[in-house]
Structure 1
Amino acid sequence: MTDYEKMKKAYQASSKIMEKRMEKERPKDLELLKKVKESSIIIVAGSYDKIELVLDLITVPYVLIHAYELDKIELNPDQMLIVNCPGSDISSQTLTKIKTYVENGGFLFTTDWALLHVLEKIFPEYVKYNQRPTADDCVRVEVVSKDNKFLKGLFEGDSDPIWWLESSSYPITILDKKKVKILVRSKEMENKYGEAPIVILFYYGEGIVLHMTSHYYLQRAELRTKRHQKSAKDYVMSEMAFSPKEAEDLEADLKDVTLGEAESAYSTTQFISNVIVEQQKKVKIRKKKKKEQKDKDSK
């Protein structure tokens, strides 16, 4: 199998792993994930990254649009806006609209080159591209904020995660170190390309901006250690505490998938699920407050 075929199979397996694990440990969050409506998530199509492929696997609906269509639609702060790499076709007028959307409570999620084409233009005082593009590479990563709600169920125990960097990924320079929070970093990336942040988060107005280096849909994994070369079945049983019966139920999905491939695919699958769940919780709270205020005003 090619690297792409291996990772496609790993993603298919990871979606099953994630659902089974959330069913056991976070049933209410899984229920919330399954109730997401198509209009809740707007994805701007990218030439290089395709987050929508991950959402397809976890059966989360979304609306996929082209950058020019952003000019024509109204952005609702209750929606999540995902901009795939590169984000270079978004007009300056629409960038201003996106900034207002975030300020009013929207959730903006961007990947890789959107750092330069979107974030650096909208939030120039927060982050910028360091002008040192990466090679096609894999780097070891460390979680900085293990208790962060977006990282639930990721990189636990003795995990030794490897992150794929697309050729010419854009390293993140953080300008406002007080406001921009690093969720995942890589010392190895810093040594090679000058900056450590892999996944960052910051608040702007009432909204949230989340950005990650490289592409969300990983197209290969690197098996550096004996642990990474173990089977995906070993992964779910030894590191996720799946019972032999639960692992057996996934036998066909896990076949020919290594631990390293499963871990890489699972990390992105679970991460996007966490992000969507937390956004849905935020929307529910916001709607509840609006209703309470409306009821109060009508009395």
Structure 2
Amino acid sequence: MKLTTVELTNSNVSLTAYVLDSSQGMSIMGNRPAVLILPGGAYRACSEREAEPIAMAFLAEGYQAFTLQYSINQNAVFPKPLNDAEEALELIQENSSKWGIDPDKIAVCGFSAGGHLAAALGTMGKIRPNAMILGYPCIVESMSRIFPVLVPGVDKSVDALTPPTFIFHTYEDRLVPVSNALTFAEALNHANVPFEMHIFTKGVHGLSLARPHTSGGLRSMVEPAVAQWFRLCISWLRGIFGEFASERESVQVDSVNQYSLDVQLGVLWKNEVCKQVILAAIPVLGESPNQEAMEVPLRAILDFGGDLLSEAAAIQLDHQLRLVPVPPR
């Protein structure tokens, strides 16, 4: 994974990119969907509990992830935060090839005030995401009372260009009443924008993933029922962006650009030179490894095999395999 922070135009605004690497063993993941994460914090701060932990959760599902530290406090006067989000989304789109992203599969995910900003990007942005995820979002204009500056309501800006939306909230939320989510859902319905919404009975405001590691040590921030939102969200996102390809039975020889330990044993075995190099280093494999071994990268076999090869011998074997030319396609 590569971690990069980019300073944006407005003061104290930055975008942090969490970019997963591509490899021979992960070749189907060359162009991944991405999620731009906007933490909450009442436009007074950007909550750490709703930033990197959310990025890590999406990374684990195969998505590239980005967190935005947007304009806050007196700098949060609109449209400054919206400009920050637009600039971040534009930067992600412009670097989609470099960062291994499908530019047509970028979602925005915002919590509380970040949910307001995410909804603003999806309804008012000069460029818009392809999907929105809103966690206990501030939506209506009257919510400005909890912010340091006035911000516009976003429910009245929903139009036909607003992307499909996933919303979750709790009935017990007293800081940002559930009516915010219901109002936005009604606006989406009126504009014929597809959405999925989950209203959980129990749970205070600001739950993040609603799990112990995002609780900040507070029991009130752990709510197993609400923790289901992330699994539900991933299922919804797959319906919007599609699932990662997994139809092939095995890697085809013509998909290999270079032989190495990261190539499936079955593919290596089809090349007689590779086969003899491997047998010379690991004679215990024998002439006919089992089918399960044929379907995984050779490096994984070495990892699980424990003492099959020393680290130095594995490096040498990898070097020898890389010297074997791949037949022309």
**TM-score with structure 2 setting the length:** 0.34
RCO greater where, 1 or 2, for CA within 8 Å and sep 6 or more? 1
**TM-score with structure 1 setting the length:** 0.36
